[in-house]
């Protein structure tokens, strides 16, 4: 804060939409997530998670060939991830949830190397918002999708802590 004004520092190689900087209440976030969920149900999607999931690493393309992501799209996705992480680092957790969901739903670049990181920070954002059930859901999915990730020990500890909280 300088001269009574709040400043947001966006790191290099990061990208956000201007609307990402407008603070979102927990209530509005809940409504946005449920609206997206309902829209997905109307379109016939069977997955009812509260976040999109298009990130499994190493997905095969249509003709059995390994999907090679577009380098420009990959760089754009890295910038989006860095922007979402900046929102998290600046404690704008509701905004971070929406930004990480956008990174996770980028179907143009489904072989993203930031899928596990995005899920991890999405779960941490839900936890910071005290939405423990959603955090537990995302942590569990993260372990099943990426069993050997960099945050494995921390994720396991978080799952244990959140399960105790539910009891």
* Contact between residue 95 and residue 87 where contact means Cβ atoms under 8 Å apart: yes
CATH number, domain at 61? Answer: 1.25.40.10
**Which residue has better confidence, 165 or 129?**
129
Overall number of domains in the chain: 1
Angle between helices 71-89 and 115-128 (to 10 degrees): 20
pTM: predicted TM-score of the whole model, two decimal places: 0.75
Is 27 a domain residue? no
Rounded (to 5) percent helix, strand, coil in the chain = 60, 0, 40
pLDDT 10s digits, 57-98: 444 444 444 455 567 767 778 888 899 999 999 899 999 999
Instruction: Indicate whether 131 pLDDT > 90.
Output: yes
Q: Which residues contact 82 (CB under 8 A, 6 or more apart)?
A: 11, 13, 14, 15
Is 64 a domain residue? yes
Is 45 a domain residue? no
Domain region containing 105: 55-166
- Range of weakest confidence among 36-45, 49-58, 107-116: 49-58
**Which residue has better confidence, 2 or 4?**
4
Instruction: Indicate whether 56 pLDDT > 50.
Output: no
- Range of weakest confidence among 36-40, 44-48, 124-128, 130-134: 44-48
Is 97 a domain residue? yes
| pLDDT given for residue 137 in this prediction | 93
Is 122 a domain residue? yes
Token pair listed for 29: 């976030």
Is 1 a domain residue? no
Is 78 a domain residue? yes
| pLDDT given for residue 133 in this prediction | 92
Is 10 a domain residue? no
């Amino acid at each position: 804060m300088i001269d009574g004004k709040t400043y947001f520092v966006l790191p290099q190689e990061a990208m956000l939409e201007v609307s990402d900087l407008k603070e979102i209440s927990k209530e509005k976030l809940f409504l946005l997530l449920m609206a997206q969920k309902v829209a997905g149900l109307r379109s016939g999607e069977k997955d009812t998670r509260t976040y999109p999931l298009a990130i499994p690493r190493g997905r095969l393309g249509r003709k059995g060939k390994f999907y090679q992501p577009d380098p420009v799209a990959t760089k754009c996705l890295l910038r989006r991830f860095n922007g979402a992480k900046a929102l998290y680092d600046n404690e704008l957790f509701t905004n971070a949830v929406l930004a990480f969901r956008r990174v996770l739903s980028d179907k143009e670049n489904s072989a993203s190397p930031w899928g596990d990181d995005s899920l991890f920070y999405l779960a941490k954002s839900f936890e910071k918002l005290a939405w423990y059930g959603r955090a537990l859901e995302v942590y569990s999915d993260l372990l099943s999708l990426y069993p050997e990730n960099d945050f494995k020990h921390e994720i396991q500890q978080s799952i244990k802590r959140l399960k105790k909280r539910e009891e």
